Each structure stands twice: as structure tokens, then as C-alpha cells.
Amino acid sequence: MRMVDLIAKKRDGGNLSKAEIDWMIASYVKEEIPDYQMSAFLMAVYFKGMADDEMANFAGAMLHSGEVLDLSSIPGVKIDKHSTGGVGDKISLILAPVLAALGVNIPMISGRGLGFTGGTLDKLEAIPGFNVNLTVDQFRKQVTEHHEAIISASKEVAPADRRLYALRDVTATVESIPLIAGSIMSKKISSGIDALVLDVKVGRGAFMKTQEDAEKLAKALVTIGKAHNVKTKAVLSDMNQPLGLTIGNALEVAETIATLNGRGPKDVRQLTITLAAEMLVLAGKTDSTETAASLAGDVLRDGRALRAFRQMVIDQGGDVRVIDNPQLLPRADFRTAVKAPRSGFINNIDSEALGLAAMQLGAGRAKTGDKLDPAVGLVLHKKVGTPVSEGDTLATVHSNQEQIPAVLAAVQAAFDITDAAPAPSQLIRGFVE
């Protein structure tokens, strides 16, 4: 086979066969195909797309470029959740103990954040001592015994995706639905799960800005999952404002603990319960999402989910005292209130701007390898739709630098205040299965 022929085929709108895709990915990983040819191919996909089976084969080839975990020794269904990424998204930290408390296995392999705020692993590492680098045997043992573990992906997972993602980043080909879907699913399926629920974010603070694009991505993800015998369902959720009231690693852990104590912001609870309900149904716990939602609500209310979280923190070496006393989490030296410049209603909160502000404080990475400050971030006091008076506190900035005028200005500008109240927005925007 010659790469030039495959590029031409895609350029002209053709679909590559499984054999062609397998050969292309294997040759690329062996460095027998140069980056300039792969770049041309990626750009052709960007313009011409991929057929469903082609996309599934593409994900499969990337998946088999690396390590695929075998979790078959763990009895019962193994299920995971993946979010396409949002500001203030701490749902995985809450969801894992909710499912574990109900006896459902949730082996989570998670990532670190780049840009906008930290990822799930960064948040967990705000708990002093928490170890996300378990061996596969430790991971299997913990899930077998206590139904949940959250760890970092090994370097061996889908190496083809790692190389292709870096190439896409510099060739303006990240924003292609088949490429995004293939990339996400190659990594997710490699963890040996039986079922997966995807939280596809839609809105200004998300990868997918419109409902239409979010639906297309959700369909692509579900198609790939099913082609690989993973029961997959997607929930579309709003990302036109940050999720919950905190952005920043330790602050988000504190909000997680509050939610596991039966408190926590309404949107965080609602999304957790919605995703948990879909996962419980896919895992075969019940046929009814209503029953499943009520089971999830019960364990958040009665302390069982909190107990499961405590067990995970113990298992992974974290300082369990933070659960009873979140004041022990890393704390920033300075707190600055950002005030409303006028009276009115919060019409919109620019999640992306707040994510970037938090990143500037040190809560997220500008580039891979940057060190995070777990203590810093933002606490929101107002959400979309709330009335405000001039001088009310919109947000508190937690920082370890005293002078942060640019961040304070960016946070204030992220709140759009209008005279009229905005139309109520829906957190859950749809389902794709």
C-alpha cells in the first residue's frame, strides 16, 4: 500500500477499508509514514469526513496501537463515564462513589487538563497523598474489592492517538468530529469496559458550541462504542456557564465533598443523578431511569456515597481527614471579591473566560507539564438568571499572588448583566443512544 493513494482516496471523498486503516496507523506508529503525509490525510478527513464503519475502524486501529486492559477477572459489568470537558466539571469525583455505593464497578481511567482548569486527576491530587498511579494489578484489586478506582492512563494506551493528536494540534485539524470521536473512544475502550456513558457538553465553554454539532459528536461516539461492543449512551449537557460554583482543584474537591454530604449546587446534583441513572440502567441495575435516579439520590442523601468516596481516598493513599474537614485542603493566601458593576440580572457567564482566568492563577496548564497550584481558583456567588445589585459579590478569586488586576478584570467581564432576566436554560439538552 502507498500512503499517497490513501490520501488521494480520502481527498476524493472515498472511504478507506479496515485493511487500509490498520496499515496506515501501524505504519505511522512505526514512523514509516512521515508527518507531512499524515497531515495531508488528516486535512482530507477534516473536509470529507468518515463513514461510520471507517470511523469505528479508525478508533479500533488506534486502540490496538497500544495496551488494552483486561478487566475480565472483575465480576460484573464495568462501566465508565467520559465528559468532553467543561469548566467546573467535577462530576467524575462524585459519580464514581455514587455507583460504587450501589455495587456497580467503575474503573475510571482519567486525564489531566490542558488549558481551562485541571482534569479529574489534577482535582484528586489536590487531596494530599492521593495516588493516581496505581499498577494494573492494584487497579483491578481495588475495583474488585470496592467497585471504584480513578487512575491515570499509562503511556502505553493508544500511542497512535497521542502522536496524531499532537499533529492535529499544529495542523488545524483538531475540530473534526470523526477525528475527535476516534481519539476519545480509542482511549476509553482501551480500559476494558463493558459500558460507557458520555457527557457531551454543548455551549460557549465547550468544544461543541451548538446543539447540532454536539448531537453529531454524540452520534459518532455512540456509533464507535457500539461497533466495539461497548454499550454506549450520550447525555448532552449545557456548558453555557460553569458547572457548580467552583473552578480550581481543591475548591472543586470541597464542592464534591459538599455534594456527597447531600448538599452541593443544584446543577452538580442534577447532572450527577442524570448520568448515574443512565449508568445504572446500562449496568443492568434496573430498567427504569426514574428508579435509577432515585437510587442515586438516596446514596447522596444517606451518606453511602460519601462512605464510598472515603474508601477510595483511603485505598489511594489520600489524607482522609479532608473529608470531615475540607479546611485541610490546600488554601490560597489571598481572597478577592469581584463586584457587580451594575444592577440587573446575570444574563450569561462566559465559562471559557473564567476557565482561562483560573488557568492564569495556576489552576490549569498553559502547556503540557506545567505545574499546577491546587489551592487557587474561583468561587462563583451568582449563576445565570440571578438578580444582582451594583456592588454585590459576583465571585471570589482565590490566589497566591497579591496583585492580579488582569484576572480580576477578566472575571468581572465574564459576567454579562442585563436589565431583563434571561429565558431559563436547560441543563440536560438531550440523549443519544
Report the residue number whose CB is nearest to ligand URA.
183
190 forms part of the interface with ligand URA (CB under 6 A): no
Alpha-carbon span 190 to 69, nearest angstrom: 6
239 forms part of the interface with ligand URA (CB under 6 A): no
HSE, CB side, 13 Å, CA atoms: give it for residue 40.
15
In the complex, least distance from residue 168 CB atom to ligand URA, rounded to whole angstroms: 7
Alpha-carbon span 399 to 393, nearest angstrom: 17
C-beta separation of 63 from 153 below 8 A? no
**DSSP string of 83-122, one letter each residue:** E---TT--HHHHHHHHHHHTT-BEEEEE----BSS--HHH
Alpha-carbon span 205 to 240, nearest angstrom: 6
E strand residue ranges, 3-105 = 79-83
**Sign, CA torsion 209/211/213/217:** positive
177 forms part of the interface with ligand URA (CB under 6 A): no
110 forms part of the interface with ligand URA (CB under 6 A): no
In the complex, least distance from residue 387 CB atom to ligand URA, rounded to whole angstroms: 37
183 forms part of the interface with ligand URA (CB under 6 A): yes
- The span of 32-40, 178-186, 197-205, 350-358 binding ligand URA (CB under 6 A) equals 178-186
Task: Using the minimum distance from each CB to ligand URA, give the nearer residue, 64 or 321.
Answer: 64
Closest residue by Cα to residue 125 from 115, 133, 114, 137: 133
Q: Rounded to 5 degrees, what are φ and ψ at 220?
A: -65, -45
In the complex, least distance from residue 220 CB atom to ligand URA, rounded to whole angstroms: 11
Contacts of range 26-31, beta carbons closer than 8 Å, 24 or more positions apart: 26/61, 26/65, 27/3, 28/160, 28/163, 28/164, 29/65, 29/159, 29/160, 29/163
- The span of 90-98, 172-180, 197-205, 351-359 binding ligand URA (CB under 6 A) equals 172-180
In the complex, least distance from residue 322 CB atom to ligand URA, rounded to whole angstroms: 30
- The span of 173-181, 251-259, 272-280, 329-337 binding ligand URA (CB under 6 A) equals 173-181
Query: Catalytic: which of 80, 89, 122, 161?
Result: 161
Q: Which three cell numbers stand for residue 254?
A: 470541597
Query: Catalytic: which of 183, 186, 190, 351?
Result: 183
Task: Using the minimum distance from each CB to ligand URA, give the nearer residue, 82 or 269.
Answer: 82
In the complex, least distance from residue 188 CB atom to ligand URA, rounded to whole angstroms: 9
Annotation marks residue 168 as catalytic: yes
55 forms part of the interface with ligand URA (CB under 6 A): no
6 forms part of the interface with ligand URA (CB under 6 A): no
Can you give the three-state secondary structure of 273-301, one letter per residue?
Answer: HHHHHHHHHHCCCCCCHHHHHHHHHHHHH
Task: Using the minimum distance from each CB to ligand URA, give the nearer residue, 25 or 253.
Answer: 25
Query: Catalytic: which of 78, 81, 123, 187?
Result: 187
253 forms part of the interface with ligand URA (CB under 6 A): no
Q: How far from 86 is each of 258, 277, 294, 367, CA to CA, in Å?
A: 20, 20, 26, 18
Annotation marks residue 187 as catalytic: yes
Task: Using the minimum distance from each CB to ligand URA, give the nearer residue, 179 or 332.
Answer: 179
Q: Which three cell numbers stand for residue 239?
A: 456548558
In the complex, least distance from residue 91 CB atom to ligand URA, rounded to whole angstroms: 16
Query: Catalytic: which of 82, 90, 112, 162?
Result: 82
Alpha-carbon span 109 to 148, nearest angstrom: 11
Q: How far from 295 is each of 212, 213, 405, 406, CA to CA, in Å?
A: 32, 32, 46, 45
Size of the site for ligand URA (CB under 6 A): 6
Footprint of ligand URA on 138-167 (CB under 6 A)? 165
202 forms part of the interface with ligand URA (CB under 6 A): no
C-beta separation of 320 from 328 below 8 A? no
180 forms part of the interface with ligand URA (CB under 6 A): yes
Annotation marks residue 64 as catalytic: no
Q: Which three cell numbers stand for residue 90?
A: 467535577
In the complex, least distance from residue 84 CB atom to ligand URA, rounded to whole angstroms: 7
Task: Using the minimum distance from each CB to ligand URA, give the nearer residue, 119 or 362.
Answer: 119
Task: Using the minimum distance from each CB to ligand URA, give the nearer residue, 158 or 340.
Answer: 158
184 forms part of the interface with ligand URA (CB under 6 A): yes
SS3 347: strand
Task: Using the minimum distance from each CB to ligand URA, give the nearer residue, 190 or 399.
Answer: 190
Alpha-carbon span 201 to 141, nearest angstrom: 32
Task: Using the minimum distance from each CB to ligand URA, give the nearer residue, 43 or 184.
Answer: 184
185 forms part of the interface with ligand URA (CB under 6 A): no
Alpha-carbon span 422 to 42, nearest angstrom: 41
Instruction: Summarize as ranges the residues that interact with ligand URA (CB under 6 A).
Output: 165, 174, 179-180, 183-184
Catalytic residues: 82, 161, 168, 183, 187
